[in-house]
């Protein structure tokens, strides 16, 4: 299954992608995570991307295309993938189209998580990440057992630099301006699926997984009828 997940920062893309990845056995490709790791390790990519990320701006398309082309060539993507955080511009969507066309494959669905700007501002101001293993917490809805410490590895929890109020406002603007047009782009192709994501994680996840299971069954039926 080849999927893209879209939504405002803080809409739950990472959480839902992790669940989809486990349920369907496909890799979750989070371009944000890849970039943060590159920054942490002082890689060339990280040095180039850092200032854009800190300011809540998008990293240039050419750099992102290079990263994604390389990642999608990896063997674990042969059975499918879920792209979390890519594409974010029409130019990136076109790069992805070209890449998939070359391989004679297509996206099965683009999932869009629907949440209000007010909710994401609230969610992001309470989001904390483990500085060691990257585990994700929310101080209101999913707090750690011990304040400031990761339940999994004991690492210290910190706020992402770009989750601070000023940068969040910029990221929301960037979404409206540069990423929102992708909704129409994929709706026009008939592959956009919208999920109301103000609800709890479990409820949203159950609905997404049921929908994807039906989609996978429909694909199997289509394949078996077309192959005779
Ligand atoms: P995320 O974790 O998906 O919210 O991404 C964090 C930051 O990484 C974004 O605010 C951008 O600066 C950068 N980034 C991640 N994915 C992309 C992308 N597809 N295009 C451009 N910049 C990106």
Is position 19 annotated as part of the catalytic site?
no
Is residue 28 over pLDDT 90? yes
Is position 79 annotated as part of the catalytic site?
no
Angle at CA of residue 178, ends 173 and 179, nearest 5°: 95
Per-residue pLDDT at 219: 74
Per-residue pLDDT at 225: 67
The one catalytic residue among 71, 160, 180, 199: 160
Report d(CA 216, CA 208) in Å as an integer. Answer: 12
pLDDT (tens digit, 9 = 90+) per residue, 152-181?
999 999 999 899 998 999 999 999 999 999
Pull the structure tokens for residue 183.
């909704």
DSSP 15-59: HHHHHHHHHHT--EEEHHHHHHHHHHTT-HHHHHHHHHHHTTPPP
Query: CB–CB of 148/129 below 8 Å?
Result: no
Ligand 1, CB cutoff 6 Å, lining residues: 9, 31-32, 35, 52-53, 56-59, 64, 85-86, 88, 92, 162, 171
pLDDT (tens digit, 9 = 90+) per residue, 113-129?
999 999 999 999 999 99
pLDDT band at 218 (very low <50, low <70, confident <90, very high): confident
* pLDDT-above-70 percentage for the chain: 96
Is residue 228 over pLDDT 60? no
Is position 160 annotated as part of the catalytic site?
yes
Residue to mutate, 28, 35, 170, 174, ligand 1, most ligand atoms under 8 Å from C-beta: 35
Is position 180 annotated as part of the catalytic site?
no
pLDDT (tens digit, 9 = 90+) per residue, 178-209?
999 999 999 999 999 999 999 999 999 999 99
Strand, helix or coil at 69?
Answer: helix
Q: What is the chain's alpha carbon radius of gyration, rounded to the nearest angstrom?
A: 18
* pLDDT-above-90 percentage for the chain: 88
Strand, helix or coil at 113?
Answer: strand
For ligand 1, the distance from its centroid to the CA atom of residue 6, given in whole angstroms, is 12
CATH number of 2-212: 3.40.50.300
């Amino acid at each position: 299954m080849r999927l893209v997940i879209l939504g405002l920062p803080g809409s739950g893309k990472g959480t839902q992608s992790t669940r989809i990845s486990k349920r369907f056995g496909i890799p979750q490709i989070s371009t944000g995570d890849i970039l943060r790791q590159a920054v942490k390790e002082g890689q060339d990519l990280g040095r180039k991307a850092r200032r854009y990320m800190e300011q809540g701006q998008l990293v240039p398309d050419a750099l992102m295309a290079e990263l994604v082309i390389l990642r999608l060539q990896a063997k674990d993507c042969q059975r499918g993938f879920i792209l979390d955080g890519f594409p974010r511009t029409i130019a990136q969507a076109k790069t992805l189209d070209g890449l998939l066309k070359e391989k004679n494959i297509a996206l099965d669905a683009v999932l869009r998580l629907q949440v209000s700007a007010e909710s994401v501002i609230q969610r992001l101001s309470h989001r904390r990440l483990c500085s060691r293993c990257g585990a994700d917490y929310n101080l209101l809805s999913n707090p750690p057992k011990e304040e400031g410490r990761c339940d999994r590895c004991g690492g210290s929890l910190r706020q992402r630099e770009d989750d601070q109020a000023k940068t969040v406002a910029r990221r929301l603007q960037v979404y409206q301006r540069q990423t929102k047009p992708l909704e129409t782009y994929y709706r026009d192709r008939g592959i956009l699926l919208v999920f109301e994501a103000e609800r709890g994680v479990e409820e949203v996840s159950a609905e997404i997984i049921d929908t994807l299971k039906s989609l996978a069954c429909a694909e199997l039926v289509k394949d078996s009828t077309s192959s005779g």
